[in-house]
Amino acid sequence: GESVGLHLPTLSVQEGDNSIINCAYSNSASDYFIWYKQESGKGPQFIIDIRSNMDKRQGQRVTVLLNKTVKHLSLQIAATQPGDSAVYFCAERSNQGGKLIFGQGTELSVKP
Amino acid sequence: ETGVTQSPTHLIKTRGQQVTLRCSSQSGHNTVSWYQQALGQGPQFIFQYYREEENGRGNFPPRFSGLQFPNYSSELNVNALELDDSALYLCASSSLAGGPLGSTDTQYFGPGTRLTVL
């Protein structure tokens, strides 16, 4: 069935370094992808999104890359800060307005 | 803050009981989606409500039901609670055609309701 999976369950980086979180998806019909950040005890917080007609999108300190050929999504965080420590989820959507399919998540830990 | 609110924050029930969770959507949004998040897992889609009707459903049994009201707020009802229903229940607000914001893609989540079934 449909699934979105993450390559690494945990990622530990030094403050100031760049972080890369990877995600694989299986539904080639998905047209929209989102990255969320979830801190302990809180709901997922929107970070950045990308449509399937794009391969790169940049935000403030974050960049999302989409490779439809290999069904791969990545989130790059520049100059990672302690406040970036959280669980990061990628999610895909297969039809407009419809359900989001989430992966298991990657826990990012930033060491000062 | 997303402007999406949920109540209650925490809830403890016993097996077999019924529970109602509530969600108020972000201003201008006309669609509410509900998700169940088990500990250590990603959220799983339960269903979505748009124009007061169910607009898509995930792989959840009929004892999971919902409502959407004219002000776009929503309720999630779970009957005959089971131990495995213990989870964080999230609602997400978005906008589909016909709302003041038109159709948007992004779903914004509330803080969730932590349900524990004993």
* DSSP letters spanning A3-33: -EEES-SEEEEETTS-EEEEEEE--TT--EE
The nearest alpha carbon in chain B to A107 belongs to: B40
Q: Do A102 and B48 touch (CB under 8 A)?
A: no
Tens-place pLDDT, residues B63-73: 999 999 999 99
Q: Give the DSSP letter string of B54-95.
A: EEEE-S--TTEEEEE-TTS-EEEEE-S--GGG-EEEEEEEE-
Distances (CA, A) of B36 to A43, A81, B49, B64, B66: 11, 29, 15, 11, 13
Chain B hits for A49, Cβ within 8 Å: 105-106
Confidence check: pLDDT of B102 > 80: no
Q: Do B4 and A34 touch (CB under 8 A)?
A: no
Q: Mean pLDDT across chain B, nearest whole number?
A: 92
Q: What is the pLDDT of residue A26?
A: 79
- The vertex-B58 CA angle with B57 and B60, nearest 5°, equals 105
Residue-by-residue pLDDT tens, chain A, 112 positions? 445 654 448 999 999 999 999 999 878 889 899 999 999 989 999 999 999 999 999 999 999 999 999 999 999 999 999 999 999 999 998 765 578 999 879 999 999 8
Q: Do B43 and A97 touch (CB under 8 A)?
A: no
Q: Give the single-character DSSP code of A95.
A: S
